[in-house]
Amino acid sequence: MHRKNEGAVTEYRMTGKLFVLSGPSGAGKGTLREHALNDIPNLKYSISCTTRHPRDGETDGVEYRFITREKFKEGISQNLFLEYAHVHEDFYGTLKQDVVNELNAGKNVLLEIDIQGALQVKAKMPEALLVFVDVPSVEELERRLRNRHTESEESLRVRLKNAIIEREQKDKYDYVIVNDDLENACKELREIFTKS
Ligand code: 5GP
């Protein structure tokens, strides 16, 4: 399922830059994100809302804002989301006001969201820079996901299926980074962020 928020975002002055990181689950987006946030000054991570349950070690307000489906749907009807999507059977979304406030304050903002959300952001904020973090192959992705031990077999299958679909759309991104070597991938990302 894929529903878009319609209408461009007009209430922002865009003094900061907006970066969007996407890619298959298991491509290493989370690790790259952490490195980018440590390395690049003035870069703020936007914490998404989700209806999925926290995993072991996750804290509300840190990795995500964990909210109920009812609350999420309320947010949709009040047009609170810059983008949102139904991913792996749960809802995920970025609060518009969070991003607008940071950009207006001159901060650079980093979103780590799925491809459906990234394309919604690009439609509303064409200046946003989209970076796709890819894996060398689907076989490698499966190996990484299995090693992570965070998913049931069923969830793993869903993630692999989604990854194949997502990889077919990577040419819609401004940049593609293949994460086969973490250090290189971090360097590439840093270059993209700092030269933009
Ligand atoms: P996970 O459940 O593994 O944390 O995330 C699953 C997927 O949801 C990842 O591809 C992640 O990038 C995506 N995601 C996380 N937050 C958001 C969001 O706010 N919006 C959208 N569209 N996708 C998100």
Share of the chain above pLDDT 90, in %: 73
**Based on C-alpha coordinates, what's the Rg of the chain?**
16
Averaged pLDDT of the chain: 91
| Residue pLDDT, tens place only, 162-190 | 889 999 999 999 999 999 999 999 999 99
Q: Computed from CA positions of residues 51, 56, 60, 65, in that sequence, does the dihedral angle turn out positive or negative?
A: negative
CA dist 41 and 114 (Å) reads: 24
Confidence at residue 13, expressed as pLDDT on a 0 to 100 scale: 62
Share of the chain above pLDDT 70, in %: 93
Ligand 1 close to Cβ of residue 94 (< 6 A): yes
Has residue 54 got a pLDDT over 90? yes
**If pLDDT is split at 50, 70 and 90, which confidence band does 9 have?**
low
Q: Report the residue among 1, 3, 29, 48 best suited for mutation to probe ligand 1: largest number of ligand atoms under 8 A from its CB.
A: 48
Cross-strand partners of 111 = 20
**If pLDDT is split at 50, 70 and 90, which confidence band does 6 have?**
low
Residue that has been written with the tokens 């840190």 in this structure: 62
The closest-lying atom of ligand 1 relative to the alpha carbon of residue 46 is: 19
CA nearest ligand 1 atom 1, residue: 25
Ligand 1 close to Cβ of residue 28 (< 6 A): no
Confidence at residue 1, expressed as pLDDT on a 0 to 100 scale: 39
CA dist 196 and 189 (Å) reads: 11
